[in-house]
Structure 1
Amino acid sequence: MRFVVCGEALIDLMPEEVISPEESRWIARSGGGPLNSAAALSRLGQDTYFLGRLSSDAFGDQLRSHLEAAGVNLELAVDTDDPTSVAVVSLDGEGKASYTFHFDGTSNFNWKPEEFPTLEADDWLHFGSIGSVLGPGARHMLDFVSRTEAAISFDINVRPSTLPDRAEYFRLVSDLMAAVGRGAGIVKASDEDIAWLVDDEENPLGYAQAWAEEYGLAMFIVTLGPDGVAAVRPDGRVVQVPGHKVEVVDTVGAGDTFMAGFLSAYADDPSDLEGALERGAAAAAIVVTRQGAKPPTSAELDDYLA
């Protein structure tokens, strides 16, 4: 099976050191949810293609190098002269990341219809995050997802600062869930994503079940932070696995790496949903012990699970 991961690749500017009141030092890390998932899938041994728009600027060169070093195929990537998108990362005392984005006129949001390929039924399309809801290209991504014959998974990955209007954000996400549901696909969100979208912190699994039923999804996966992850079927059946107690350095790439770990196992054996969730949770546990989104290899994940 070929995985095609569609969405943004950007630069995460992460704080390193305050030198003086006038000067600070930052690290420019390759990032973006889809880029992280593509790199993680490839490091886990999957045949992975990145379908994203990569700039001709220096940051774009870095993103290409990062993907290539992870073994990701760039034949489907789109070359553009639009500048690379940038996210400024802030970490709280527990290593939890928040983001301020600089996106206007940048590479990830100007998709054109002709830039999307035709995928086959034996491909797996994974997409999501900011590029699926923002910019003039978002409607073209929706059209692409709606017509593809590939198996589909969608990571909602809400970023409220990019679109503070909850109702509009939810409308866009609903259209994408409906498109995924036409192929009986999979949607994933964190419990915090769901709480923000519906302005209700109670019962995220209840919302997941309702959406799985309404949109015809195969399942809705909800990550629960340290409490693990649950997959909810449209009929209300729930498969849940616990989280892992680890020393968290930062949470950058945790959800993206979970999806890679989950998909790499689930695509091979859909009958073992619990095992796929466990593999995803373990992959996420490894990545949060590292600075930045540095996903494990298949061998590292096997050793951790053993």
Structure 2
Amino acid sequence: MSLPRVVVFGEALTDIVQTTPGHWRGYPGGAPWNVARTLSKLGIATGFGGAISEDSLGEEIAEQSIAAGLDMRFIQRVKADPLVAVVPSSAPPTYFFAGEADLRFSLDALPEGWLDEVEICHFSCISLAREPLASLLIRTAEQAKAAGKVISYDPNWRNLMTARYREETFPTLGKLASTIKLSDEDLKNLYPGYEEAQALQALRELNPEAQVLFTRGERGLTLYTAEGTHEQPALKVTVADTVGAGDASMAGWLGSGLLGITDLQQRLVFAAACASVSCSHAGAYSPTVAEVEALIAERGR
């Protein structure tokens, strides 16, 4: 069995959400896992490099990973409490994290030769703010970069990220990455006190050669490259919810290039369509190429 073209490193977790007072519901998620699952649904051979628990919560993540077609050789099952995000309120969002299964991830358990075959390594979210996993993944990114692999990075700011993350982790990954995806909210947290234009300029100076995919929700996407800027409006749909939309756009951007789309504007359209299809379904929905192409064709009329 051949090895995947993309490995997404980080956490998979269960969101435990209070839907109404006293009523809770669990949803498998985690930004890196969402990106991996969407890439696989788009037909890209993908591995999710992360550890999940052996209990029922981990089993649901494993089952959905299999259903999405992820390479299960990269997912590690461990005897540890499951990682959960407890969400007492969604509006405004309040949350905290518990569990440690994600922290048990080991590079030694990955398939032999994976680094020789992989084309893109993607890193994001709280996995880069939880030790000892964070240091392990930063070393992995450095090794992959040294081996000539493309590094993709989405900071995906969360409340457990500290000044150390802002001052050390973010610039380290930012300088390694060929692609940096971040939202307007991420930018505000990474560059507090900056106007948006100032923050974007500081980000561009951090790594002038990187492609920066900047997302603004319903206001669309902007791509910054060393050669210029490309704008893409959001593709309007009836929104069920926006959970996972940013992850879908990230996967759409990476996946479009691997699917052979070379024109940057067409890749932006594909990424925007991935986000919109995701928003038209409840939960962190992973679109297929057929769904994405159907939406593009419909909005192109």
TM-score normalized by the length of structure 1: 0.86
Task: Please list every run of 5 or more consecutive structure 1 residues that lacks an aligned counterpart in the other structure.
Answer: 19-23
2:248 equivalent to 1:248: no
**Residue 225 in structure 1 maps to residue 217 in structure 2:** yes
Partner of 2:186: 193
8 Å contact from structure 1 (residues 132, 141) kept in 2: yes
SS at match of 1:119: helix
CA gap of 1:285–1:129, structure 2 versus 1, over 3 A, is same
Q: How does 1:74-93 map to 2 (within 5 A)?
A: 74-89=72-87, 90-92=89-91
Q: State the Cα RMSD in Å.
A: 2.2
- By percentage of residues, which structure has more helix? 2
- The answer to whether structure 1 residue 177 and structure 2 residue 174 are counterparts is yes
Residue matched to 1:10: 13
The counterpart of 2:276, out of the listed 264, 271, 285, is 285
Alignment match, 1:214:
206
Q: 2:96 aligns with which of 101, 105, 108?
A: 101
Structure 1 counterpart of 2:154 = 155
Separation of aligned partners in 1, 2:183 and 2:277: 18
Residues 240, 282 of structure 2: 8 Å contact kept = yes
| 1:158 aligned partner, one-letter code | W
Structure 1 equivalent of residue 195 of structure 2: 202
Look up the SS of the partner of 2:182 in the other structure. Answer: strand
Q: Post-superposition shift, 1:119?
A: 1.2
Decide whether aligned partners of structure 1 residues 295 and 207 sit closer, same or farther in structure 2, where only a CA change above 3 A counts. Answer: same
Indicate how the Cα distance of structure 1 residues 238 and 73 shifts in structure 2: closer, same or farther if over 3 A, else same: same
Which letter does structure 1 place at the counterpart of 2:152?
A: S
Determine the C-alpha separation between the residues in 1 that align with 2:23 and 2:212.
40
Contact between 2:214 and 2:221, CA under 8 Å: does it hold in 1?
yes
Take 1:178 and 1:251, find their aligned partners in 2: how far apart are those partners?
29
Task: Give SS of 2:262's match.
Answer: coil
Query: Aligned to 1:178, what secondary structure does the other structure show?
Result: helix
The percentage of aligned residue pairs carrying the same residue is 31
Hey, what's the Cα distance between the residues in 2 that align with 1:91 and 1:71? 30
Distance 1:268 1:45, change over 3 A: closer
| Residues 5/168 of structure 1: CA separation in 2 closer, same or farther (3 Å cut) | closer
- Residue from 127, 133, 137 that aligns with 1:131: 127
Q: Which residue of 2 aligns with 1:21?
A: none
CA distance in 1, matches of 2:247, 2:85: 16
Equivalent residues, number? 288
Secondary structure, aligned partner of 2:123 = strand
Q: Which structure 2 residue ranges, 5 or more long, are not aligned?
A: none
CA contact (8 A) 2:73 2:110 kept: no
1:248 Cα deviation after fit: 2.7
State the Cα distance separating 1:212 from its structure 2 match.
3.5
Report the Cα distance in structure 1 between the residues aligned to 2:166 and 2:80, rounded to whole angstroms.
25
TM-score under structure 2 length normalisation? 0.87
Match of 1:276 in 2: 267
Q: What's the CA shift for 1:187?
A: 0.8
* 1:57-87 superposed Cα distances (whole Å, 9 cap, x missing partner): 2111111001111111111122211211111
